[in-house]
Structure 1
């Protein structure tokens, strides 16, 4: 590839980044402005023009998936020799290489989680930790180590900055000290220690420094606003007295300060590196002018000197919607209706997201989507390929691939293996079991896609291993439910920002001006996730009779006159009955299980039904699901079909009497289902 080919298709600012082949360079890149495109083309242009050697470039980012995307793009640009890694992956590779030569013996093992050690520590210091507490303790230790705050300095440090520890500071010191002592005793490394020891090896051993700096001469750091002091220490150690460094970031997307990240290194880059080239990317290719205008207005109030005013490049789209609901249940039901309406207009469910401030808010939306028959997935902190059920599945699939015959069909083989560890035809109602089912279902759907291209089981396993290395999770056909923090770096055609109230956004414990502004940036990140459709909503109370709430202060001046939706007279689909009892129609016993309530009888009670009718209903459901391009359970679950076959409804009222069939399902499928039931009845009479 010629250097001129690399520059083709770049806008003027991206081209300026690409041609700034030697550092120091600072790229301030707003949301959706093509920063990854700019920095990959910069690296490719520098290599193809002869300014740098591909093997001498180290591109650093924060997630394995982002590093994988960088490598993929660089390969496409003809520079596969560039190293693109996370801070931890790059440091661990150097540490394990030099440890036997410099320290001697095998390097320590790396722990994936601090929780097992902390549970032991809590017992050793006489603290009976609640189930959630070790996670809080782990997060606090990670914050301290990222800021290079050692146990002996911890109490004074948190007092100085006004930080509230998860336990009293003196007790936190004891836990921190005991954790570090146990980690060393067991010859273990956590992620922070990897960075710290790598920096120490380079600093204290000249031969290590010489070899590392001979290998890597040019550095690129993505998401530089998220760098913490420990990562900055390692980066400075890699650089030495050189300044061939390009950093890329957006101070307006600094939302991880609670982990120790700071945007000061990004905003202060020209001071630290006098004469640095500073380039701003403000052309937004992601979102419509309407979404971009709202994003700009969110930050205008802050009057930050580092604010980037985005300029939309896409055609016009709909105005963002602002909706006020009476309570949270009404808000969730309203969002479910809006999602269904967008899906009917052609917006894929996988291109739709519901974003909230804290994970606890997802429950109302899980329930609303389940009732509306809308598939969803909850995006949490766990990376897909690190989930226990996925790791177990990959191990089983890898074992099966070793003995797979050439003629084995991929999809049936994968379904058979996954069914043994929890993949059922219908999903569980919710909770962790539902999340595990969604993970297994995603693997099964990926197998079906690859089978259509002629892949076998060994090829499928190889694809999984490639995706795991790059954290490229398979797509799931469903609405994404995620926190605003988990949504950073992602984008969807349609985004619903929900629960935007005082006390939630900004969160109630955000007190200082700096904390409030970080909450404002969270809203900005949420807005800029949307490509076309954006809806913002809030509820006046959590539940009827609850304490009143008011919309977030961040919405002042943004909303105009919001639509007000009252839940006092909801449509039949949204009505809820509380503590209603359902009795078995056979024996009269009160039913507790949801499946039994839907059937209207105890699972053990005998009942007669037309098996041929049930088979016809299943065949119809399969065709309806295929046409709508959704899983079968979204149309009707097996339990609902069983209930229909048992009751053979003759009217809409009969159909609505079956638990789980509301107005939406009736309008969508009622006529077809009743026709099938009538035809079955006619055949019975003829017989």
Structure 2
């Protein structure tokens, strides 16, 4: 239904009133929105594909449930209600800021400011921002995002298991072959059929065929498919696995004493611990004082250099482009020495070790070249130099080397992969044949068109024709929510709508560029009771230091005798831990809340006492404020923002992550009426985050929330892409590179979005929040490139 009652007003969902949805959604959560006929509480459902509507509780038997007919009958009988609806339908001026429907009560007002307690804020000030400008035009609720290039669908849909191009790829088995397999083109089917053809029709023993896949799961899938086409023992004899898996088995066979798996360093923190405990840093005290995250970033650089086969002596010639590379120059030789001395190795050493063993031992190389007559490499666009050089050794001299991939899906540059290897394959093997699998069997035609329109802007790529197997256009939406919180609400409402229509939750996926996009989405899914799959890749949001300090202030506002909360925020007040006992003892002696005692200690200097008294007064005022207003007082008048800025500067930390975290907290706080309610929400989310780490719903029973990188190779019916704004996708680091005249990083970002779009079968929804982390946004340049 479109009509509801908020307090004593009738509200009406029309395109003119859609900008008020965030405020009405909040009011509905607080039980303030009711049915004008039966008086029951209503919820507001505002997704993407369907028009917004008010919903009765599931157990309601109201006559107007699911329809406005009963409301219209009452309108006919009630002139007063009819007049109220007419007034609601009149597009009167909007509130200057709908999100402030929950703003603090104004106790005192003058021409320029309002007073909350004893603290003055600029009049109509946007929380976390500057003064409000004239209201912009209403944001776009949704529109169909139509591709710039329309894709034709396959004219003749044959009943044959393989399309002619696929059949050609299967039967071309001699010499080097490049198969350009676009997204959804059935490459796994081709790889399986090609392997079966070699064994069954060409008589090649399976133990002479090596199939290298990007993941163990992909290798298992090929074996399982083969087992349905061939005798099971033949499927088992196939050499199939990842580069690391296959190369490690070779090393373990020839050099077991050197490659004991118990000596494997799997994590970067293990590498750092080994180096610290080796004693080699004794003459480099400056390295011991580095922040752990900076060291871990440097180990990522070292891994990339090793994949490019840049050994310590060679990497020195590489000019450092950033702090991580400068740190890596110092750590790399020390790390390699520590491993050699103590007998450890890492995953990158497996690749280098296998390459050097084959390169340096002619007899071992000859045995493998005679044993392996056919090599097939999946996801060739993600190969790195050391892997490629090893493959070339193994495939010679027959060079029955088939590489399958899509240069448009090369997205692992940070691991050392380089699309130049697939782009240059025919240069390395001039006699190579090239076959393009141009039919997308996965996605509807409009989705294929969006991806094709976008990726065509990259210059470093193979040009390909593209067809869609499906004649249906599919659904492609663009929507503009107010901010990241409303974006999350819209996405989760849409998922609820899809589930109501019969879509399994596991056929919905939310793909983000960076993990900062995940928090509000996970919270909305939890509130809606929708199960989800999520792999925690870093610390919980509510456990990050800046967030914990901020929440400590709010807890003290609620309970001035919360000793743990005060102890948490001591560093932000420039109070040493040694003073903690004095503060606590004074509180016990005077039998006063610990916060009230804080400014009264005689040890303080005048300026300290004044600031501590100010903080105490602020927290007293915060007790009655809405949580967003309370946070603004803490950030500004309590000078928490100044402290965090100084702390980042002292640590020479150029990243503004702490600022984004404060803004995220503000955005979350706006959805709650009181500080107590907000803190309760935080506690509940913190507890649920512990469950997220261990929850494992069945694949079809949980929505997938994951990074685009992790989504590579997967597919879903419905895909949601939040935060398509400049600085998020494309990422800020790519924009910095563009400003310096470099385009490769931007091209990889474009490939990343192409991968995200082409995960979808039936629908794609793109979100462009008008604000993100409290800052105005600009739509991603990729939007205009792919559609309109």
TM-score, normalised via structure 1 length: 0.65
Matched, 1:200 2:317: no
Q: Distance in 1 between matches of 2:190 and 2:533?
A: 32
CA deviations 1:375-414 (Å, max 9, x no partner) are 22214669xxxxxxxxxxxxxxxxxxxxxxxxxxxxxxxx
Q: How many residues align?
A: 470
8 A Cα contact 2:457 2:785, kept in partner: no
Higher relative contact order (CA 8 A, sep 6+): 2
* 1:220 to 1:140, Cα distance in 2 relative to 1, 3 A: same
8 A Cα contact 2:454 2:785, kept in partner: no
Q: Distance in 1 between matches of 2:507 and 2:432?
A: 39
Q: Distance in 1 between matches of 2:223 and 2:242?
A: 12
SS across alignment from 2:732: coil
**Which residue of 2 is the match for residue 524 of structure 1?**
754
**Which residue of 2 is the match for residue 507 of structure 1?**
731
**Which residue of 1 is the match for residue 172 of structure 2?**
20
Aligned runs of 1:22-41 on 2, under 5 Å?
Answer: 22-41=174-193
Match of 1:362 among 518, 524, 535: 518
8 A Cα contact 1:380 1:486, kept in partner: no
**Which residue of 2 is the match for residue 73 of structure 1?**
225
**Which residue of 1 is the match for residue 306 of structure 2?**
145
Q: Distance in 2 between matches of 1:164 and 1:476?
A: 43
Unaligned residue ranges in structure 2 (runs of 5+): 1-158, 539-682
8 A Cα contact 2:180 2:405, kept in partner: yes
Q: CA deviation at 1:51?
A: 4.5
Q: Which has the larger radius of gyration?
A: 2
* 1:439 to 1:41, Cα distance in 2 relative to 1, 3 A: farther
8 A Cα contact 1:379 1:480, kept in partner: no
Deviates more, 1:103-112 or 1:197-206: 103-112
**Which residue of 2 is the match for residue 273 of structure 1?**
429
Q: CA deviation at 1:490?
A: 0.7
Q: Distance in 2 between matches of 1:233 and 1:528?
A: 31
Aligned runs of 1:156-195 on 2, under 5 Å?
Answer: 156-159=317-320, 163-166=321-324, 169=326, 171-195=327-351
Q: CA deviation at 1:164?
A: 2.4
Q: Distance in 1 between matches of 2:318 and 2:468?
A: 43
Aligned runs of 1:91-106 on 2, under 5 Å?
Answer: 91-100=247-256
* 1:231 to 1:430, Cα distance in 2 relative to 1, 3 A: farther
Match of 1:490 among 714, 731, 736: 714
8 A Cα contact 1:108 1:187, kept in partner: no
8 A Cα contact 2:453 2:787, kept in partner: no
* 1:302 to 1:200, Cα distance in 2 relative to 1, 3 A: closer
Match of 2:765 among 535, 558, 561: 535
Match of 1:114 among 268, 275, 281: 268
Aligned runs of 1:330-369 on 2, under 5 Å?
Answer: 330-369=486-525
CA deviations 1:461-494 (Å, max 9, x no partner) are xxxxxxxxxxxxx526221111111111111110
Q: Distance in 2 between matches of 1:494 and 1:30?
A: 20
Q: CA deviation at 1:96?
A: 0.6
Q: CA deviation at 1:441?
A: 4.3
Matched, 1:84 2:244: no
Q: Distance in 1 between matches of 2:187 and 2:248?
A: 27
Let me know the Cα RMSD of the aligned residues: 2.4
* 1:350 to 1:106, Cα distance in 2 relative to 1, 3 A: closer
Q: Distance in 2 between matches of 1:220 and 1:312?
A: 26
* 1:131 to 1:376, Cα distance in 2 relative to 1, 3 A: farther
Q: Distance in 2 between matches of 1:218 and 1:288?
A: 35
Match of 1:548 among 768, 772, 776: 776
8 A Cα contact 1:359 1:483, kept in partner: yes
**Which residue of 1 is the match for residue 485 of structure 2?**
329
* 1:109 to 1:212, Cα distance in 2 relative to 1, 3 A: farther
Q: Distance in 2 between matches of 1:559 and 1:202?
A: 50
SS across alignment from 1:532: strand
Q: Distance in 1 between matches of 2:319 and 2:700?
A: 42
Matched, 1:10 2:162: yes
8 A Cα contact 1:57 1:216, kept in partner: yes
* 1:434 to 1:94, Cα distance in 2 relative to 1, 3 A: farther
Q: Distance in 1 between matches of 2:340 and 2:359?
A: 21
Q: CA deviation at 1:271?
A: 1.6
Deviates more, 1:308-317 or 1:80-89: 308-317
Match of 2:702 among 467, 478, 482: 478
Q: Distance in 1 between matches of 2:261 and 2:706?
A: 37
* 1:558 to 1:229, Cα distance in 2 relative to 1, 3 A: closer
* 1:106 to 1:11, Cα distance in 2 relative to 1, 3 A: closer
* 1:59 to 1:434, Cα distance in 2 relative to 1, 3 A: farther
Deviates more, 1:224-233 or 1:119-128: 119-128
Q: CA deviation at 1:206?
A: 2.3
SS across alignment from 2:481: strand
Unaligned residue ranges in structure 1 (runs of 5+): 1-6, 383-427, 446-473, 561-687
* 1:319 to 1:178, Cα distance in 2 relative to 1, 3 A: same
CA deviations 1:31-71 (Å, max 9, x no partner) are 00001111111111111113522110000112111111122
**Which residue of 1 is the match for residue 439 of structure 2?**
283
Q: Distance in 2 between matches of 1:235 and 1:381?
A: 32
Q: Distance in 2 between matches of 1:14 and 1:180?
A: 46
CA deviations 1:562-612 (Å, max 9, x no partner) are xxxxxxxxxxxxxxxxxxxxxxxxxxxxxxxxxxxxxxxxxxxxxxxxxxx
* 1:107 to 1:347, Cα distance in 2 relative to 1, 3 A: closer
* 1:77 to 1:351, Cα distance in 2 relative to 1, 3 A: same
CA deviations 1:129-163 (Å, max 9, x no partner) are 4343343122111111011112233243144xxx3
8 A Cα contact 1:282 1:308, kept in partner: yes
* 1:517 to 1:53, Cα distance in 2 relative to 1, 3 A: same
8 A Cα contact 1:317 1:533, kept in partner: no
SS across alignment from 2:534: strand
**Which residue of 1 is the match for residue 199 of structure 2?**
47
Match of 1:228 among 380, 384, 387: 384
* 1:380 to 1:281, Cα distance in 2 relative to 1, 3 A: farther
Q: CA deviation at 1:371?
A: 2.1
Match of 1:437 among 662, 669, 691: 691
* 1:429 to 1:122, Cα distance in 2 relative to 1, 3 A: farther
SS across alignment from 2:489: helix
8 A Cα contact 1:299 1:307, kept in partner: no
8 A Cα contact 1:251 1:263, kept in partner: yes
**Which residue of 1 is the match for residue 68 of structure 2?**
none
Q: Distance in 1 between matches of 2:752 and 2:316?
A: 29
Q: Distance in 1 between matches of 2:716 and 2:259?
A: 49
8 A Cα contact 1:226 1:256, kept in partner: yes
Q: CA deviation at 1:112?
A: 1.9
TM-score, normalised via structure 2 length: 0.57
